[in-house]
Structure 1
Amino acid sequence: MRCVIDVPVFTGLTERLLRWLHRVPSFRERDDGQFSSIVKNAFEKSRNTYGTRRLKIALSHQG
């Protein structure tokens, strides 16, 4: 037996999903992205050895 799915039910869901996928990132998302790249660079500078405490100190010295 074949299952029949009502297409209009999924149309609204698909439209909302596509709108969400192509949205402009919020200020917080952009800010978080910049901050995470700064932390990542500091971690890589330490040859991946610093933990959270030492990263915090290193980042405070950077400004």
Structure 2
Amino acid sequence: MPAPLVIFVADKDTGVANSIDSITRTMGGAVGTAIVITILAGSAQNYRTPTGPVAIPTEDA
């Protein structure tokens, strides 16, 4: 998404705008991943294996 930033931001501020864009995308990915993991973990069932119990998400997750 750097192209719109270059169009709408002053030349002297493009570096800052690209940095903020990158940080925002990284944070969004981290938060999104945490939400998905939380949903999957909430629907996990424990299965017994010879090495001990293992939690696996159900098909309804």
Task: Please classify the TM superposition score into its range, dividing by the shorter chain length.
Answer: 0.3 to 0.5
Greater strand proportion:
2
Greater helix proportion:
1
Structure with greater Cα Rg: 1
